[in-house]
Structure 1
Amino acid sequence: MEAPKSVNDQSCVFGQDTQISWKFSGIEKPQVARSFDGQPLPTNNRFQVTETGDETSTLSILQAELADQGVYTARAINAVGEAEATTKLNIVCIKPVIKADLNAALQATKGETMTLNIAVSGIPKPDIVWMRDNDELTPNDRIQVTILTHDVDIYTLTILNMQPEDQGEYSAKISNIGGSLQSNKCKVTISKSPVFVVKPTIQKVKQGETALFKTQIDECPPPKISWLLNGKELITKEGIQVQFDDTTGQANLSISNVDLQQHAGSITCRLEKPYGYQEETFQLAVLAAPIIITELPKEQEIVSGQDVTLKVVVRGSPRPSAQWFFKDRPIGTNNASIDEANDEYQLLIKQATVTQSEGTYQVVLKNEVGEVQSIPCLLTVLEPVKLTRVKPTSNIIDLGEGKAFDITVDLVWG
């Protein structure tokens, strides 16, 4: 019995199919036993043996693996004798090659998803390790690594809900048994336009107490925050404190010992951006009990039949209501008015008379915080004087030289 060349070499690319064939000749058909590196040939679906009528024995290896590299032996035996043939199989690997690398820089948005892709070829399929700066990234629910297999494999890193701590230089280490290499570095920065997650709200604070405004901001990088009172920027000083936590985005404004004249009005929180700004405006209402700035006069005189206006200047917040009194009895509001621009409360007394108008006036001012009472004002109504001639009765008088002359009149008031 004759065998083919006793030893030969054969190569196969990793992952591809290959065949090893042996042909024996002899008078009697031999029985062929096969082995791998001195051990019986593995029995699995990847190893298939076929024999043809011309006494050719073929071993097919499907999707060759590195473990398949070695020496394959076929031994043929018949009644006359035996023969052996050996084939050395080499598995060829192709080292990784980057077909499409990372970009040098990427701008990601805070809270959204970032994706990095690398196209790589190599046999066997390369392994990949994603890096941020010098730290290896471990896949989890938020960090995902996927491979899309084509002629060139696409390796994808996906990070959900990007946060400021995800900034850094990203790269990939790629390797197989044929070799290894490293991708370009991609500098990832995180940004986000400012958003008020929690907006400041209207504050009602009693005079002398502390007003505290809170807001929460989502922006990356942290913005410059300004607080304004009635359009004028507030500066940190005694009584005014401004705080910002760039980790939580919490911004606070504290105004202690609030004063109606100094602090009431519009408060604005402004987030400054490279191109413009975003802001929210709300009100600070300082609650103050009424106080009288200008009192009623203690006494006032008016000629009968003329009009007179009693005035008192009062400040308070909310704006106080006024109740006027005449001789301790409340007066209707028909002739009462308010000059809001000057905080002046007025009572108009029309065509004053002694019987209806003369007496003591007072006003009580009240709001939800407190009340105040003015001093009483005594209004005196003056009646005009009337003269009635008694004598002489004639309008023409003859006077003698050196004689006395008398005129007699009656005085009547009113």
Structure 2
Amino acid sequence: KGGSIETKTVINVKEQKPQLLSDLNDSPSANTAKIGEEFFLEIRAQGKPKPNVTWLLNGQELSSHSSDYELIVTEDGLYRIVFHQFHERYLGEYQAVITTTTSTIRTKIIRVIGQQAPVFTQALPKFIQIKTGEKLTIECMAKGHPTPKVSWLRDGKVLSNKDGYDIKVDQTTGHSIFIIPIGTVKHSGKYECKVENQYGTHTAEINIEVLPPPTTQQKLKDFDLSRGQEATITVTANGTPLPPCIWFHNDKQIYPKPNHIVIIDDGPTHILKLLDVQLSDAGTYKAVVESSSSTTELISQVTVRDVPDESSESVDIHVSQGGSCTLECQATGTPLPEVIWTRDGQQIKANEHYQIESTANGNHRLIIKNSQYEHAGRYVANVCFKINPNL
């Protein structure tokens, strides 16, 4: 007669304590992580049932879900944590904890250290131009592991505050500030910012140009003119950029006037021409050359004299040889005019035969002593009136 038979079989699986087949590698070369690159740690372990592995960083359990790393487990007992782009925040002491339902074991503790050659996190300028007297500040921001040392150089020589610079360095962050407090032409040149640690060196070159201040001739020519003459006042002012020149007459700015005042600006050369000068043109002329760093004032005194008049009637004087005579001229004014005596158009200078006198009341004399035949001629008293520009 047909039927069925039911058989019950009980299989007992004997648990096996977790075993560490391959511990963490504690060699420094294996546990040096390059910042920003892939890095991993791994162990091999077995047990029944298959053990669970958690990873500790500085005693704290790492999450099993993170975009920063991947946890890999293989059938043959390989447990690996893989950082695809290792970050500094994961530096420290690592340990793996291997657990089954019955027991737990731990790996040795190893320290992961970072390695990163220095790089600039902010590009430095390749060329900087400032004017004389200006302040220059350059900022360096770099990273690396360990934090790079920052230094500033010129012509291969390391610079310090003793060289007249203001250098600030934070060696814990790789941040540095380089300051030239007051730029001068001597600061022009090639500079370098160097960041370095034991894994590499990175250098940025900076060319600094400090524009020279304007240079201006320090003295202007004074002029003593007669009415109707002309004068040319010239100023040379160099600089980058070329500084402008403004002209003043008795502290009032001058502007061009046809047939009378001409102003020419030709590069570094600045010219003021006074044509057909009149008494009103006398006075103080000032050239003001101004740049962003300095102002220079140059002065020229212009004196305008009235045209000499021959207003008196001619007088004939007869003198015996060896005799003496006195020629007189009365000319007053403020300031007192100058009288120039001439014989046949030639100016007379005082000597043993000629004695020239002038008094405060405007009396001017020419005394001829021990007259000789060669002293005969046409004598003229030329009166030159000097105009006081302050009146």
- The TM-score normalised by the length of structure 2 is 0.53
Q: Is the 8 A contact 1:244 1:252 kept in 2?
A: no
Residue 33 (structure 2) aligns with? 108
Q: Is the 8 A contact 2:64 2:71 kept in 1?
A: no
Q: Does 1:96 align with 2:23?
A: no
Map of 2:92 onto structure 1? 168
SS at match of 2:63: coil
1:144–1:58 Cα change, 3 Å: farther
- Counterparts of 1:165 and 1:144, CA distance in 2: 12
The answer for the alignment partner of 2:170 in structure 1 is 244
CA offsets, 1:179-215, max 9 Å, x none?
Answer: 5443354432212222222123466667656433223
Superposed, 1:68-107 pairs within 5 Å as 89=12, 91-93=14-16, 95-99=18-22, 101-102=24-25, 104=27, 105-107=30-32
The percent of aligned pairs where both chains have the same amino acid is 20
Structure 2: how far apart are the matches of 1:140 and 1:95? Answer: 24
Q: CA deviation at 1:101?
A: 4.7
Task: Tell me the CA shift for residue 127 of structure 1.
Answer: 1.3
- Residues 81-118 of structure 1: CA distance to partner in whole angstroms, max 9, x if unpaired? xxxxxxx8353435324257535232222233422222
Structure 2 residue identity aligned to 1:124: P
Higher fraction of strand: 1
Larger CA Rg, structure 1 vs 2? 1
How is 1:15-414 mapped onto 2 (pairs within 5 angstroms)? Answer: 55=5, 57-59=6-8, 89=12, 91-93=14-16, 95-99=18-22, 101-102=24-25, 104=27, 105-150=30-75, 152-159=76-83, 161-177=85-101, 179-201=103-125, 210-228=135-153, 232-236=157-161, 240-244=166-170, 246-247=172-173, 249-256=174-181, 258-261=182-185, 263=187, 265-274=189-198, 276-283=201-208, 285=210, 292=215, 294-298=217-221, 318-321=240-243, 365-367=289-291, 372-376=296-300
**Counterpart residue type for residue 240 of structure 1:** D
Unaligned runs of 5+ in 1: 1-27, 31-50, 61-71, 73-87, 301-309, 338-345, 349-354, 379-403, 409-414
| Distance in structure 2 (CA, Å) of the matches to 1:58 and 1:103 | 54
CA-atom RMSD in angstroms: 5.3
CA distance in 1, matches of 2:161, 2:287: 42
Paired AA for residue 176 in structure 1: T
User: Following TM superposition, by how much is the alpha carbon of 1:225 offset from its aligned partner in structure 2, in angstroms?
Assistant: 0.8
Q: Could you tell me which residue of structure 1 aligns to residue 347 of structure 2?
A: none
Task: Go from structure 1 to structure 2 and tell me whether the alpha carbon gap of 1:365 and 1:58 turns closer, same or farther (over 3 Å shift).
Answer: farther
1:296/1:377 contact within 8 Å kept: no
Distance 1:155 1:228, change over 3 A: same
* CA-CA distance at 1:178 after TM superposition: 6.1
2:170 aligned partner, one-letter code: F
Aligned to 1:12: none
Read off the aligned partner of 1:58 and give its amino acid letter.
Answer: T
1:140 deviates by 4.5
Opposite residue 120 of structure 1, the aligned amino acid is A
* Shift in CA distance, 282/121, structure 1 to aligned 2, threshold 3 Å: farther
Structure 1 position 125, deviation (Å): 0.9
Distance verdict in 2 for CA 1:205–1:261, change over 3 Å: closer
Give SS of 1:374's match: strand
Question: In 1, Cα distance between the equivalents of 2:13 and 2:135?
Answer: 84
> Is the 2:68–2:85 Cα contact (8 Å) retained in structure 1?
no
Query: Residues 322, 208 of structure 1: CA spacing in aligned structure 2 closer, same or farther, 3 A cutoff?
Result: closer
Letter of the 1:122 counterpart: G
Structure 2 gap ranges (5+): 224-233, 255-260, 277-283, 303-371, 377-391
Tell me the amino acid that sits aligned with residue 117 of structure 2: S
**Alpha-carbon separation, structure 2, partners of 1:122 and 1:235:** 63
CA distance in 2, matches of 1:93, 1:207: 82
Distance in 1 between the 2:37 and 2:55 partners? Answer: 20
Q: Is this contact kept in 2: 1:198–1:216, CA < 8 A?
A: yes
> Match of 2:353?
none
Name the aligned partner's letter for residue 95 of structure 1: P
**Closer/same/farther in 2, CA of residues 160 and 236 from structure 1, 3 Å limit:** farther
Q: TM-score, normalised by structure 1?
A: 0.51
Aligned length: 290
Cα 1:124–1:255 change in 2 (3 A) is: same
User: Partners of 2:90 and 2:12 in 1: how far apart?
Assistant: 48
